[in-house]
Amino acid sequence: MTSMRGLVGVIVIIVVVSACAGSGSRETTVMCDVASRLSAAYATTSTAADRIDAGDTDGAHTLGATARMEAEDAHTLLQTIRTQDVRRGSAWGSLLDAYGHVGQAANAAIGGFGGVRDELGRARPSLATAAESLPRCFTPPTT
């Protein structure tokens, strides 16, 4: 099951990157990249939650740290967008919110704590909202 999630994450990233190449404005391309990175962090954190459930806190720690770095990279990239109209838009705000929840889930995984799936659950609506604004480059996670 864990390898299937990893494969799904890789497929999502490929689809996102492919769609971003022809998506138009720099801001849209950046937000597509952010969505891709957050999707990867989400998938990695979900796998970390599986490791916690299996009692593998060391594995969860490693995956959580990787996911946290992915989420931080996404946040740094998102902050490069300076256009105020874009920053006021639903996609930008939703990606920022998703970053917070995915980051908190990754932090919980690093510590081997519970609540990882709860935080991921809080990230899903934000990712879904972002996907509505970025339909050509982003498919949000459903689990």
Q: Identify whether 141 is part of a domain.
A: no
| Stretch 14-27: mean pLDDT | 55
The Cα–Cα gap between 117 and 79 comes to 26
The answer to whether residues 36 and 138 touch, using CB atoms and an 8 Å cutoff, is yes
Q: Identify whether 34 is part of a domain.
A: yes
Q: Identify whether 119 is part of a domain.
A: yes
Portion of the chain with pLDDT greater than 70, in percent: 83
Q: Identify whether 143 is part of a domain.
A: no
Q: Identify whether 79 is part of a domain.
A: yes
The Cα–Cα gap between 28 and 103 comes to 22
Q: What total number of domains does the chain contain?
A: 1
CATH code of 113's domain: 1.20.120
Q: Using one digit for the tens of pLDDT, what is the confidence trace for 103-135?
A: 999 999 999 888 999 999 999 999 999 999 998
80-94 as b/e: b if 16+ CB within 10 A: ebeeeebeebebbeb
Residue 62 — very low, low, confident or very high, per pLDDT cuts 50/70/90? Answer: very high
Domain region containing 15: 2-133
What pLDDT, on the 0 to 100 scale, is given for residue 5?
A: 57
Q: How many CB atoms lie within 10 A of CB 57?
A: 17
Residue 142 — very low, low, confident or very high, per pLDDT cuts 50/70/90? Answer: confident
One-letter amino acid of 130: A
What pLDDT, on the 0 to 100 scale, is given for residue 137?
A: 81
Q: Using one digit for the tens of pLDDT, what is the confidence trace for 45-59?
A: 999 999 999 999 999
Q: Identify whether 91 is part of a domain.
A: yes
What pLDDT, on the 0 to 100 scale, is given for residue 79?
A: 97
Considering the entire predicted model, what is its pTM? 0.82
Q: Using one digit for the tens of pLDDT, what is the confidence trace for 66-107?
A: 999 999 999 999 999 999 999 999 999 999 999 999 999 999
Q: How many CB atoms lie within 10 A of CB 106?
A: 27
Residues 6+ apart with CB under 8 A from 127: 35, 38, 39, 42, 94, 98, 138, 140, 141
